[in-house]
């Protein structure tokens, strides 16, 4: 089986939206510092680009979770593969994720982080597939709502490929 990638959201559109999100977040957090928690690996590209557009002080930490899924579906069983390096107690934490699909990964992660007593905890995602939601998650900042399709690029992978595409593309399988 081989796959083709069709552009869904162009590089220019993504960049424009990330700038807008950075401006809104900067305004919302005026006078405070943000601890950006990047969800590896998918959230890396978005975290870096977003951080460049935020004007209040930011610090970074990284977390890696695996959902025991196959290539295109998450199973709902979440395991922390790499935990944060630092405490988030009393910090204004903004979790940065590539995409919310079923919502299982993030609802688990947010509950886990909440128990560590941050001053505030918000969620920012580049993409959201609301039609696919199985578990309720409160998303504070969304880049784009997209229909139910498997997408790659800007950090998102298909079997670990295509993360470095500068746009969001749809994977079309053939063969
Ligand atoms: P959830 O737990 O179902 O919300 O799954 C979230 C995770 O599944 C994301 O962080 C991605 O790693 C992965 N994922 C979900 N949809 C896609 C997609 O369309 N392309 C690439 N990865 C995806
Ligand atoms: Mg992934």
Residue pLDDT, tens place only, 85-106: 999 999 999 999 999 999 999 9
141 within 8 A of 127, measured Cβ to Cβ:
no
Q: Any idea which ligand is nearest the CA of 67?
A: 1
**What pLDDT was estimated at residue 67?**
73
Token representation of residue 48: 């870096």
| Sign of the CA dihedral running 113, 115, 119, 123 | positive
**What pLDDT was estimated at residue 33?**
98
For ligand 1, atom 17: residue with the closest CA:
150
| Sign of the CA dihedral running 136, 69, 49, 173 | negative
Over residues 130-175, the pLDDT tens digits come to: 999 999 999 999 999 999 999 999 999 999 999 999 999 999 988 6
Q: Is the pLDDT of residue 79 over 90?
A: no
Query: What pTM did the predictor assign?
Result: 0.94
Residue 97 CA to residue 123 CA, distance in Å, equals 8
Q: Is the pLDDT of residue 77 over 80?
A: no
Q: Any idea which ligand is nearest the CA of 39?
A: 1
**What pLDDT was estimated at residue 68?**
64
**What pLDDT was estimated at residue 73?**
56
**What pLDDT was estimated at residue 66?**
84
**Residue among 8, 74, 112 to mutate when testing ligand 1 (max atoms within 8 A of CB):** 74
Q: Are strands 141-145 and 79-82 parallel, antiparallel or unpaired?
A: unpaired
Decide: 107 in ligand 1 pocket, CB within 6 A: no
In the chain, % of residues over pLDDT 90: 87
How confident is the prediction for the chain on average, in pLDDT?
93
């Amino acid at each position: 089986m081989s796959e083709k990638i069709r552009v869904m959201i162009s590089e220019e559109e993504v960049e424009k939206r990330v700038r807008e999100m950075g401006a809104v977040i900067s305004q919302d957090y005026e006078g405070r510092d943000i601890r950006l928690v990047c969800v590896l690996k998918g959230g890396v590209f978005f975290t870096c680009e977003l951080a460049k557009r935020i004007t209040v002080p930011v610090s970074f930490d990284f977390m890696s979770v695996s959902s025991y899924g196959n290539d295109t579906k998450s199973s709902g069983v979440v395991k922390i593969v790499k935990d944060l390096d630092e405490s988030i107690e009393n910090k204004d934490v903004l979790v940065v994720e590539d995409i919310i699909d079923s919502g299982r990964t993030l609802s688990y992660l947010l509950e886990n982080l909440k128990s560590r007593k941050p001053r505030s905890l918000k969620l920012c995602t580049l993409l959201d597939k609301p039609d696919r939601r199985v578990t309720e998650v409160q998303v504070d900042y969304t880049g784009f709502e997209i229909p139910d399709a498997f997408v790659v690029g800007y950090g998102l992978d298909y079997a670990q490929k295509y993360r470095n595409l500068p746009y969001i593309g749809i994977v079309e399988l053939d063969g």
